[in-house]
Amino acid sequence: MSDCIFCKLANGEIPTETAYENDYVRVIADANPANVGHLLVITKKHTANMTELDEETAAEVMKAVRKTVIAMKTALKPDGINVIQNNGEAAGQTVMHFHMHVIPRYYGDGILPTWRQLHPEQVETHAAVAAIAAALQEQK
């Protein structure tokens, strides 16, 4: 997509701090990092989100994420690492081009909110899981 900023970043039209790239992805510094060393794994092919990602690219993305996590652990020695991927505006996705965040974490950095935890009696889990299971069966 010609007007997509992440397409331009992924394909080198706009200069980036690049840690790694191959035919499928480019791993770059987040322009507004949560911590020093916060990276984005961006697909080279324009794909809005996980639901549009083809299986081959999905596998290559995960391989690149794994390599990045291992390298980050070696290079920065963080206390932990978050891998985060948002699908849709309601989930916090701000750029509609598939990307995964790899964020080094340190005790006490306080950068990420946690989510509330509902008690089992507050939610009807069975129906949701059954509906998702049925949808999984319909996929090839």
Query: Is 99 an annotated catalytic residue?
Result: yes
| Least Å from the CB of residue 135 to Zn ion | 27
Encoded tokens for 123: 């939610």
Please give the sequence-ordered ranges of beta strands (E in DSSP) within the chain, or none if there are none.
18-21, 25-29, 39-43, 80-84, 99-105
Query: Nearest-CB residue to Zn ion?
Result: 4
Contact indicator for 9, 27 with CB cutoff of 8 Å: no
Options 46, 97, 99, 126, the catalytic residue: 99
CA separation for the pair 51, 128 (Å, rounded):
18
- Closer residue to Zn ion (CB): 4 or 50: 4
3 CB contacts (<8 Å, ≥6 apart)? none
| Least Å from the CB of residue 66 to Zn ion | 23
| Least Å from the CB of residue 59 to Zn ion | 20
- Closer residue to Zn ion (CB): 26 or 97: 97
- Closer residue to Zn ion (CB): 7 or 72: 7
Contact indicator for 46, 11 with CB cutoff of 8 Å: no
- Closer residue to Zn ion (CB): 21 or 109: 21
- Site residues (vs Zn ion, CB under 5 A): 1, 4, 6-7, 46, 97
Which residues share a beta bridge with 140? none
| Least Å from the CB of residue 62 to Zn ion | 19
Using DSSP's 3-state secondary structure scheme, residue 21 falls into strand
Residues annotated as catalytic are: 99
